[in-house]
Amino acid sequence: MSRPFLKMNGLGNDFVVVETRSAPFAPTAEQVRAIADRTSGVGCDQLIVIEAAPGVDARARFWNADGDEVSACGNGTRCVGWLLMQSSGKDEAVIETAAGRLIATRAGERLVSVDMGEPGLDWREIPLSREEDTRALGVVLYDHADLMAPPGCVSMGNPHVVFFVPDAESVPIARIGPVVERHPLFPQHVNAGFAQIVGRDRIRLRVWERGAGLTKACGTGACAALVAAARRDLTDRAATLVLDGGELFIEWRDDDHVVMTGPAAVDYVGELP
């Protein structure tokens, strides 16, 4: 039996979205990899399944292209929020995820804000394999000239390490990313962000996403980069994040919640075999 899907993207971070509230769908890791394969499948960074759940508009589950299910996906949550609000006609959607309950709201034409909740800053929340200062790690993760300044770590429902670099364009991320992703300090592996501070309110960011590789945009990565930068007083608590696929506005509010605002787009409709 074939199953309809939507191909969506948030700043080029692309998703296959399957709505399962009427018919359950529990893909195996092998099926996820087949769907995500850009040569023989549909092709995507993540697979998203939208399920019915009590007390909320829907539950969202996320799988990376390598077949692993993950707790959080910021750009994907924006896309899910947009779909749910289009369906209900409301200006707010409550979404259950493995990382907690998230609230999406309309922020303009095809713009969605998502309250991503509070960042995890304790080493056990990232998690790390041993105690470290997450504001500035005291360990060299990769011996490269641009990465000599200690990186910071933040959990946004998934683990992130953020390097502050003088020029994000020149960092050989495709070489560094896989090594950092699987460093022994990170028992669940890690997303690696490479952040260039342009100003107090602007960060150029590139992200190596665990299980997906170099991505055009990473919503939770943008949130993590802003939090890591603000903790070091490199930026204010609100900034525009410039990713390869476009811009996100991130605010770390006084109530400690991180709010991400950016676009959601539908590319096309198809059917999974």
Q: Which residues form the catalytic set?
A: 73, 218
Phi, psi dihedral angles at 89 (to 5 degrees): 80, 5
**Three-class DSSP labels, 85-152:** HHHHCCCEEEEEECCEEEEEEEEECCEEEEECCCCECCCCCCCCCCCCCCCCCCCCCCCCHHHCCCCE
Q: 57: helix, coil or strand?
A: coil
Long-range CB pairs of 50-53 (<8 Å, 24+ gap) are 50/17, 50/18, 50/19, 50/20, 50/21, 50/80, 50/83, 50/84, 51/20, 51/21, 51/24, 52/21, 53/96
Based on its alpha-carbon atoms, the radius of gyration of the chain, rounded to whole angstroms, reads 18
Farthest CA pair distance, the chain: 54
